Structure 1
């Protein structure tokens, strides 16, 4: 599922950019850091916040001035919805 606006940077929504999260969580695990829950990357004009909700990965692409803490606080509110989506994905 993908939702965006005209202001969403096109290169940030490309599959190869989004899929790097999978590589990052794998590397963190190999380093003995444990399971990666969230990854935050900041750039000059936007930031990318990704949440590990396997089998789902939730990605927020926001402005550089977005309140990152507010986005992270949405996690608990999203849990019931994500559980339903994850169930549907695993059943498909």
Structure 2
């Protein structure tokens, strides 16, 4: 289990680029799995492209450029937006 993750952890949306050469996908996959085991709402999206640190500026045309839409869909469906 990851330190600091509890049943009180807020709903969490993970996104990661498979092409990220700095941070392994396990850094997103493992906490996602831990939250699921705790029953905490969580989503994980792994995009083929996007490299490291794309955040809000994912290159247009990369698969990661759609993460904000995916987040909003998840957040609305789960009632996670105030």
Shorter-chain-normalised TM-score: which range?
A: 0.3 to 0.5
Q: Scaled by the length of structure 2, what TM-score is found? A: 0.34
| Larger relative contact order (CA 8 Å, sep ≥ 6) | 2
- The structure whose Rg is larger is 1
Query: Which protein has the bigger helix share?
Result: 1
Q: Which has the higher strand share?
A: 1
